[in-house]
Structure 1
Amino acid sequence: MEFNFATALVFILLGLVFSGGVLFLSWLIRPSRPAQFKGIAYECGEQPVGSPWVKFNVRFYVVALIFVIFDVEVVLLYPWATAFKSLGLFAFVEMLVFLGLLFLGLAYVWKRGDLEWVKPDPAITGPGQRPSVPDAGAGEVTGL
């Protein structure tokens, strides 16, 4: 089957011209009313308290990245599982290699301690020692 690339190119160019034209037209006809309150953070209708620039812990990024990796694994695993009978032994071995590599990566991340939320500080604890984490008593409310 022969594919006419000129048709696809025309559609891509028309899409770019249309979207660029709409953006330019909206920039051209928009009202320009600068105001003091447009630059501040919106906090559900309340007056903002403190700075909106908050540093997030890098551990959130690591957990999110690991989640995305294993989520993509499920996305790749589902079509393979639905067509398992027709694919044969070669596809089964390939999927085992894929899963093995993912679990090796998980073991590596686990061994490095990237899955631990409270990491030991080498300056405070010696090598091989775990940090002491304060335990909240039963029914005790912490952080107030």
Structure 2
Amino acid sequence: MKTTFNIWETSRNLYLKYLENYSLEQLNKIPEGFSNNLIWNIAHIIVSQQKLVYALSGLPMHISQEMLEKYQNGSRPDGEVAQEEVDEIKQLLTFLVNQTKSDFDNGIFKEFNPYQTKTGFYLGTLQEAIEFNNYHEGIHLGIMMQIKKFL
């Protein structure tokens, strides 16, 4: 799991650079031909990780119900995200990595409810969910790399 967590930390640091290097206007812009923007992708990966790791383990998530609804699968940006929300997303990017690693090390994950993703991946264990999360975050990083070409 050490390598899996290292990959995840590296991924999250790449996302963090978007929050540090792009303006609020750029984070919110939806280029023509795209259905979302940079900030939606970043918040979406936070929500997805919480659902994949905590919800499927029968544990409470560390995000608000509002954030869950706003950024879950099937959602789309519903207006401009304010700087305060960007700051919260930025904090969650790193906090949740540390929290998840700590929770994993402390053995709080006792059960896991298997899940079939919409793309056909079967997640039968917590480890599979964490590894799939890295794959999922890589997909969204690729989308963001495309979006940034149009900003």
What's the TM-score, normalizing by structure 1?
0.31
- Whichever structure has more helix as a proportion of its residues is 2
Highest CA radius of gyration, 1 or 2? 1
What's the TM-score, normalizing by structure 2?
0.30
Q: Higher relative CO (CA 8 A, sep ≥ 6), structure 1 or 2?
A: 2
